[in-house]
Structure 1
């Protein structure tokens, strides 16, 4: 599912042209409040992150999307599913991160629901959410996920949500 359209968004496979948006979003301290290592600090780190996402699509046929409003080329955020090993299990990890200007409009929920629709035919979908990240927790719960347990992840206690 390289491209999915929701009621308000076009979710499309990331491309090399998304580098500036990847860096803008992931280097903003407001978007990294709950990330243990903080914001991305240099363009090369953003390029490496995007490279991993591109490899996911090339090697596994599934990965993160760039989210844009219908009819608009401006990237609001990124998210989707990525193959991962979480708590010693092979799963699809649900991820979403949006520009602060896109917060509060329900875009993360819209993306999460689309990703869950894709993921249910592929494998087990989980979201690993830092125990203090209430906004992300709300998105996961509204998308229909439930908290399973707390696990250590990235050096911090995190809640494991399952679809």
Structure 2
């Protein structure tokens, strides 16, 4: 089992989290500082693409996974699809077993109370989509990264070409 630590560097407290994750036995620790105008997490998405069955994503606090319960649920879904699990250091939570079911139920309850737009990105500009395409990112991946549908990506690309 591979333990992968992840921390989003948003506040001074987060800087010490990398040391904590190493002390928790993480084989790999990745940190990122997202751009101030977005909550996109390229490093987190690459971890979720890489993580394998029986591996574990380790974080110090749930807030590192995103600004809303919906974002955290999305990460949990992707981990489950890959056969991996989540471990949160503070408060101590695990996505496996009965505690995992309780965690998911609590997050779903909170997500149901959030406004529909909570945690959603702004509408991406056509130029932003075009830049990702030029960087070699495919339309499906662009849609996933930007939190929009594939059709939106295709429409914006078509508009730029016209």
TM-score, L = length of structure 2: 0.31
Look at both structures and tell me which one has the larger radius of gyration over its CA atoms.
2
Greater helix proportion: 2
| More strand, by proportion | 1
What TM-score, normalized by structure 1, do the two folds share? 0.31
